[in-house]
Structure 1
């Protein structure tokens, strides 16, 4: 299996500069032990230094059955500080690896949450019920995630809804899952889906934004975000093949507080 170098000299320099600038006070030490990322990328982007994902100290992954068997302890040791696991899709599909990943990630000490891939040909209410039926209520889990994007290549559900209906369906799902788990889900989306459906009109939502060629501040101008998915071609010890890599928006201390909540 071909692997990209873990860190180029330029990235090492960025990390060293960040470490040099970090406050040296005990108040910044998180209760959750954040591990610096030791990831590669099979198709890396030439990021401007100020936009580089490594300017954010906390990184994680999202996975599904396509990643195969994962050595979660090796991934954790390599800097996987959080993970989102595909649980459900539409109203009748459960990811085959979800239960195994749900248990194994926790056993390895990786904070994890579950995500649902939305189908635009089924009601949001029925999809929320499907998700709730298959994802355990765990007060140590990260918030649930609603993944909304266009699904043009689906053989059964390639259609699109009007923007107002998309936002209405998102609200129905988010509200139903909030009631079930006591935590408002995160909304994952892509650049085109966000723009097509004017998702900035959804208030009170934490966004997880996919932007693999630009910083989210350029791809989603003015939009706050909690998590940034910055590549789909990450290389992580313990995982065979490519995997999505994500950066948390805040500091180590912010992350520790978020996990604690």
Structure 2
């Protein structure tokens, strides 16, 4: 036996003595000594076969057409891999989560196996959507009221996290709300804010507080969205509002959609087809820049002046109906503005209050 061959065999045997794992479930062909287990004894058996110049192709484990020390190394790797797989242990940071619609959160994963892939799945992606993963974490977006289970799997080991998602309390704000303490807003139980970015199609119509509100709300850990107040009565005007809106929101990162606010009388008296197309033009335009989109309007205007079912099939619907409960609203409503006179700690003026139930198109 040459020195290199002997050295490789000794190394392989020493490693296997440390990590060997006896089992009867290894792939057929590795139990080459037929003792119903795969361990270091199979390596010894293979060594002897090679030393005796056996030409039994059943022992050509790496299928390279010859029997040599490379088959010993191959057997070592397979035993090591199977040992690692069968001894895998995974844990997650928490097994139960209670979140609000709009929240994005991370579940940390610990594993003693840094070789095999970890997979993640959600029992209901409309409730708990997996948005990013890596070796040690999974990022989840709570998108709808409901319950879901996120499963983390590596080899044959699985762990689960139960996710309960509840409606989100939200305020929508503009410069008319004055100075705001967003930390107090967050502590009051509000988790989301939708900020007026601006209005119309002309220059210099950005909301004077938008950038300030955006920065402070983000720093307070609130989920942020935006809306653009529309005056458009033609398709061309809607396209101009898209361009104007994008001047303001470009480069911003939102947790909630960008909404078109439609409530002008001049729009309510348009033909239903015309108003529906105006809304679609704006929403599709903003969506084309990578933003989630939706529309806001009063119930009477949306139902009487547009085609709500058509719009609801493509965009989120935010409806103002302070005199109705959510259960009384059409089934396509995703966000309910239930009050125009709310009081929230951190906001001195009366505020518009909303509940967010769903963020899925």
Same fold (TM over 0.5): yes
Unaligned segments of structure 2, at least 5 residues: 1-93, 106-165
Aligned residue for 1:100, secondary structure, equals helix
Find out whether 1:112 has 2:231 as its counterpart.
no
Question: What is aligned with 1:191?
Answer: 299
Tell me the distance in 1 between the aligned counterparts of 2:309 and 2:270. Answer: 17
Q: Does structure 2 conserve the Cα–Cα contact (< 8 Å) formed by 1:209 and 1:216?
A: no
State the 1:81 CA deviation. 0.1
Q: Of 182, 198, 202, which aligns to 1:88?
A: 198
Find out whether 1:179 has 2:304 as its counterpart.
no
RMSD: 2.4
Look at both structures and tell me which one has the larger radius of gyration over its CA atoms: 2
Deviations 1:79-123 (A, max 9, x none): 110000001111122111111101111111111111101113461
Find out whether 1:201 has 2:310 as its counterpart.
yes
Q: Of 79, 98, 105, which aligns to 1:29?
A: 98
State the 1:142 CA deviation. 2.0
Q: Does structure 1 conserve the Cα–Cα contact (< 8 Å) formed by 2:268 and 2:301?
A: no
Q: Does structure 2 conserve the Cα–Cα contact (< 8 Å) formed by 1:120 and 1:161?
A: no
State the 1:134 CA deviation. 0.8
Q: Does structure 2 conserve the Cα–Cα contact (< 8 Å) formed by 1:59 and 1:79?
A: yes
Tell me the distance in 2 between the aligned counterparts of 1:192 and 1:30. Answer: 32
Find out whether 1:242 has 2:350 as its counterpart.
yes
Kindly tell me: are residues 171 and 110 of structure 1, through their superposed partners in 2, closer, same or farther at Cα, counting changes over 3 Å? Answer: same
State the 1:61 CA deviation. 0.3
Find out whether 1:170 has 2:279 as its counterpart.
yes
Q: Of 210, 213, 225, which aligns to 1:98?
A: 210
Tell me the distance in 2 between the aligned counterparts of 1:240 and 1:120. Answer: 32
Tell me the distance in 2 between the aligned counterparts of 1:158 and 1:185. Answer: 20
Kindly tell me: are residues 177 and 140 of structure 1, through their superposed partners in 2, closer, same or farther at Cα, counting changes over 3 Å? Answer: closer
Q: Does structure 1 conserve the Cα–Cα contact (< 8 Å) formed by 2:225 and 2:254?
A: no
Aligned residue for 2:244, secondary structure, equals helix
Tell me the distance in 1 between the aligned counterparts of 2:226 and 2:354. Answer: 15
Deviations 1:128-178 (A, max 9, x none): 1100011133345422111112x24xxxx6773211000111111111100
| Greater fraction of residues in strand | 2
Find out whether 1:58 has 2:172 as its counterpart.
no
Kindly tell me: are residues 33 and 73 of structure 1, through their superposed partners in 2, closer, same or farther at Cα, counting changes over 3 Å? Answer: farther
Kindly tell me: are residues 131 and 212 of structure 1, through their superposed partners in 2, closer, same or farther at Cα, counting changes over 3 Å? Answer: same
Question: What is aligned with 2:184?
Answer: 74
Question: What is aligned with 2:262?
Answer: 148
Higher relative contact order (CA 8 A, sep 6+): 1
Kindly tell me: are residues 159 and 211 of structure 1, through their superposed partners in 2, closer, same or farther at Cα, counting changes over 3 Å? Answer: closer
